[in-house]
Structure 1
Amino acid sequence: MITINPYLNFKGNTEEAFNFYKSVFGGEFSAVVRFKDMEPENKYPEKIMHIALPVGTGNVIMGTDALGKMGDDLVAGNNFFISINSQTKDETDKVFNALAVGGTVNVPVYKSEWGTYFGLLTDQFGIQWMVDCPL
């Protein structure tokens, strides 16, 4: 079964934003990964690479600090992705390829460093999507 969740990008204040969302929605973070956890030599070691806050049943708000070149063009309106979490590579490919028609593939689907099958695209209407499934 596919799930769809928001993935939010911030210019360095993800932790502050997510602590606020936690105060609003309650619960506990299911993931907090800092850049140093994946890239020990990163120049932003304490910033958030990935954070996830479950909200309700089956919903998760996720986010990252979009720093350096990643955040150069970040403004309100383009600072989020819709994250599609699928169960199989075939399902991921099908959805990714269908959404990519007339759009732009930003990162082709590949085996990510964190061990999932992952890709990014912007559809023909300007909506940013990320697809992800466990391997």
Structure 2
Amino acid sequence: MRALNPYLNFNGTTEEAFNHYKSVFGGEFQMVMRYKDIPKGEVMDGCVDMQDQEIPKEEENYIMHISLMIGDSALMGCDVPSAMGKVNFGNSVSISFSAESREDADRVFAGLSEGGKIMMPMGDMFWGAYFGMATDKFGIDWMVSFDKNYQ
């Protein structure tokens, strides 16, 4: 099966962000791994490569990997340890969510934009979709749409 799964990196707020996303989208965490659970001497793939480096005590509970199932897709993420530098948020990545109805689009948009910034409120677009854009309180850009022609 082919899948496209967004992977989000945070500076210590992964758990808070993913609990928020779970409250918006529902779904269940398929996996939650913390840095303190890594066996000594292991090399980690994906988010970071920390071979020969110790995780600082205050970062042991940081999320090494988390996966939230949303329908048939997974939203994944991790906290980047300070030894790997800081995550710099920007506008180079957006996550597009296709809702099942206008009501679903409104609910998800309201949840994602709460505490964030609305860039384009939900509305009917010339291409036939009901669409809006927001940056959530964690700095992630979201596009929410409902298009009855693509359901």
TM-score (norm. length: structure 2)? 0.47
State the distance in 1 between where 2:92 and 2:36 align: 23
For 1:39-75, what per-residue CA distance to the aligned partner results, in whole angstroms no more than 9, with x for missing partners?
5663221110000000012x00000001213233x21
Q: What residue number does 2:63 align with?
A: 48
Over the aligned positions, Cα root-mean-square deviation in angstroms equals: 2.4
Task: State the AA in 2 paired with 1:54.
Answer: M
Task: State the AA in 2 paired with 1:47.
Answer: Y
More strand by share: 1
Say if 1:23 and 1:48 are closer, same or farther in 2 by CA, change over 3 A: same
For 1:10-63, what per-residue CA distance to the aligned partner results, in whole angstroms no more than 9, with x for missing partners?
000100000000000012100000001115663221110000000012x00000
Percent identity over paired residues: 53
Say if 1:66 and 1:53 are closer, same or farther in 2 by CA, change over 3 A: same
Say if 1:32 and 1:9 are closer, same or farther in 2 by CA, change over 3 A: same
- CA-CA distance at 1:76 after TM superposition: 1.3
- Deviating beyond 4 angstroms after TM superposition, the runs of 4 or more aligned structure 1 residues are none
**Where do residues 66-77 of structure 1 align in structure 2 (5 Å cutoff)?**
66-72=80-86, 74-77=87-90
Q: Which runs of 5 or more residues in structure 1 are unaligned?
A: 83-135
Task: State the AA in 2 paired with 1:36.
Answer: K
**Where do residues 9-48 of structure 1 align in structure 2 (5 Å cutoff)?**
9-39=9-39, 42-43=55-56, 44-48=59-63
Q: Which runs of 5 or more residues in structure 2 are unaligned?
A: 41-53, 96-151
Answer yes or no: is the 8 Å Cα contact 2:30–2:69 preserved in 1.
yes
TM-score (norm. length: structure 1)? 0.52
1:65 is aligned to 2:95? no
State the distance in 1 between where 2:90 and 2:36 align: 28
State the distance in 2 between where 1:10 and 1:24 align: 19
Which structure's CA Rg is the greater one? 2
Task: State the AA in 1 paired with 2:26.
Answer: G
